């Protein structure tokens, strides 16, 4: 039952975000923020597919323990693409609110992104082996969490300042995604049921994409 439900959920998620992303790219009509948002959605979907597709195959065949290397490699790729996702979201913020300058913020974005990716690429993560070290799961997510916090603050402040009702909950979708993700990093190996929090985390990302898609449609 888990295999069927989880596989269907993941398939709907991947098809939804990638489809919405492609539509936004094609219909952005020269509006850079929606073009970026479309690329962001496609990166999200394609990146997650490297982990979710092997996971679906594992659940529907011989089990997760026989797909350790594929799942680990998928997690590594997803970790990198999620970092790219937030870089693109930062530029959506700059384009939507016509932000110029702010070189210090841009430097912080790239510093945290590079640090995150470098930590993800360290061999100590043991991505391809069973029972990877929890400590490195924490290390690589510290700059990621700080990056997320920065994006939350930027969208919260600017949407409120400019009375942007279309993006007024963008900050909340990011809060929810990290709020559901962090417990999984910390405790999923000890309490497997905590892994179920990845479902509402995924829904939060769908909400993020829908915010951009609906804003584009309303402008059209």
What stretches of the chain show up as alpha helix (H) in DSSP? 2-27, 32-60, 68-96, 103-121, 134-161, 170-187, 198-219
- Which of 128, 8, 132 is CA-nearest to residue 67? 128
Q: What's the pTM?
A: 0.94
Residue 196 pLDDT:
87
Both tokens assigned to 103: 């070189």
List all residues 6 or more positions away from 116 whose beta carbon is below 8 Å from its beta carbon.
Answer: 79, 83, 140, 143, 144, 147
Residue 39 pLDDT:
97
Evaluate whether 211 touches 33 at the Cβ level (below 8 Å).
no
Is the pLDDT confidence value at 206 over 90?
yes
Domain with residues 2-219, CATH architecture: Up-down Bundle (1.20)
**Mean pLDDT along residues 157-186:** 95
pLDDT digits (tens, 9 = 90+) for 86-119: 999 999 999 999 999 999 999 999 999 999 999 9
């Amino acid at each position: 039952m888990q295999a069927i439900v989880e596989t269907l959920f993941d398939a709907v998620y991947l098809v939804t975000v990638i489809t919405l992303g492609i539509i936004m790219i094609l219909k952005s009509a020269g509006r850079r923020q929606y073009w970026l948002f479309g690329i962001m959605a496609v990166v999200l979907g394609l990146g997650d597919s490297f982990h979710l597709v092997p996971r679906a195959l594992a659940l529907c065949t011989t089990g997760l323990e026989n797909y350790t290397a594929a799942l680990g490699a998928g997690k590594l790729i997803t970790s990198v693409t999620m970092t790219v996702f937030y870089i693109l979201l930062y530029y959506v913020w700059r384009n939507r609110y016509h932000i110029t300058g702010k070189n210090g913020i841009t430097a912080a974005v790239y510093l945290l992104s590079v640090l995150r990716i470098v930590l993800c690429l360290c061999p100590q993560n043991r991505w391809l082996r069973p029972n990877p070290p929890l400590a490195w799961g924490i290390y690589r997510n510290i700059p990621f969490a700080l990056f997320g916090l920065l994006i939350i603050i930027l969208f919260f402040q600017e949407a409120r300042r400019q009375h942007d009702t279309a993006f007024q909950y963008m900050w909340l979708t990011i809060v929810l995604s990290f709020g559901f993700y962090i417990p999984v990093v910390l405790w999923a190996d000890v309490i497997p049921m905590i892994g179920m929090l990845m479902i509402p985390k995924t829904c939060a990302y769908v909400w993020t994409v829908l915010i951009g898609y609906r804003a584009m449609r309303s402008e059209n």
